[in-house]
A = this chain, B = another copy of it.
Amino acid sequence: MLNATHPCADFLRAAATICGEDQVVPGSSIEPRYLEPARYAPGHAAALLRPGSAQEAAQLLPLCAAHGLRVVPQGAHTGLVRAGTPDDAEREVLLSTERLREVFEFDAWDRTLRVSAGFRLSELNERLAPHGLMLPIDLSADPSVGGLVSHNTGGTRMLRYGDVRANTLALRVALADGRIVQLGQGLQKDNAQLALHQLFIGASGALGLVLEATFRLAALPRQQAVAMIAPRSLDDVFPFYQRVMARYPGLVSAFEAISREAFVAALGSPDDAQRWFGGQLPDYALLLELSSELSAGQLDLQTLLQQLLEDEFGEAVVDAVLGADADCWHLRHHISEGLRRQGKVVGFDLSLPRARFMAFREAGRRWLASQFPAARLADFGHLGDGGLHFNLVWPRELPLDEAPLREGVYALVRAHGGSISAEHGVGPQLQQAYWRHSDPAVLALSGSLQRSLDPQALLAHTQWGPAPRP
Contacts and interface: CB of A to CB of B under 8 A. Distances in A.
Contacts of A175: 445
Contacts of A57: none
A304 B293 contact: no
Interface in A418-439: 418-426, 430, 434, 437-439
A202 interface: yes
B162 A354 contact: no
Each complex incorporates copies of this chain amounting to 2
A187 B448 contact: no
A132 B188 contact: no
A430 B109 CA distance: 30
B110 A355 contact: yes
A355 B245 CA distance: 35
B191 A424 contact: yes
Interface in A154-177: 154, 158, 162-163, 165-166, 175
A248 B107 CA distance: 19
Interface string A185-198: 11111111111101
Interface string A428-465: 00100010011101100110110111000000000010
Interface string A82-120: 000000000000000000000000010111100000000
B421 A190 contact: yes
Nearest to A303: B298
With a 10 A CB-CB cut-off, give which of A188, A420, A421, A451 has the most chain B CB atoms. A188
Contact of A219 (B250, B298, B417, B464): B250
A351 interface: yes
Contact of A192 (B109, B190, B293, B421): B421
Interface stretch (A5-13, A380-388, A401-409): A380-388
A4 interface: no
A78 interface: no
A355 B109 contact: yes
Nearest to A182: B439
A188 B351 contact: yes
Contacts of A185: 417-419
A203 B192 contact: no
Contact of A195 (B191, B201, B238, B430): B201
Contacts of A352: 187
A299 interface: yes
A194 B110 contact: no
Contact of A151 (B191, B218, B299, B423): B191
A196 B246 contact: no
B186 A353 contact: yes
A294 interface: yes
B198 A195 contact: yes
Interface in A134-170: 151-152, 154, 158, 162-163, 165-166
A299 B293 CA distance: 13
B446 A190 contact: no
Given A188-B386, A294-B248, A353-B107, A446 B165 contact: no
B187 A446 contact: no
A181 B441 contact: yes
Contacts of A107: 353, 355
Interface of A: 107, 109-112, 132, 151-152, 154, 158, 162-163, 165-166, 175, 179-183, 185-196, 198-199, 201-203, 207, 218-219, 238, 242, 245-246, 248-251, 292-294, 298-299, 304, 351-355, 382, 385-387, 417-426, 430, 434, 437-439, 441-442, 445-446, 448-449, 451-453, 464
Given A195-B202, A248-B294, 15 more contacts: A107-B353, A110-B355, A181-B445, A185-B417, A187-B422, A188-B354, A189-B419, A191-B425, A192-B434, A196-B446, A198-B198, A199-B199, A250-B292, A250-B293, A448-B452
9 contacts: A109-B238, A152-B195, A187-B422, A192-B421, A192-B430, A196-B446, A248-B294, A250-B294, A298-B304
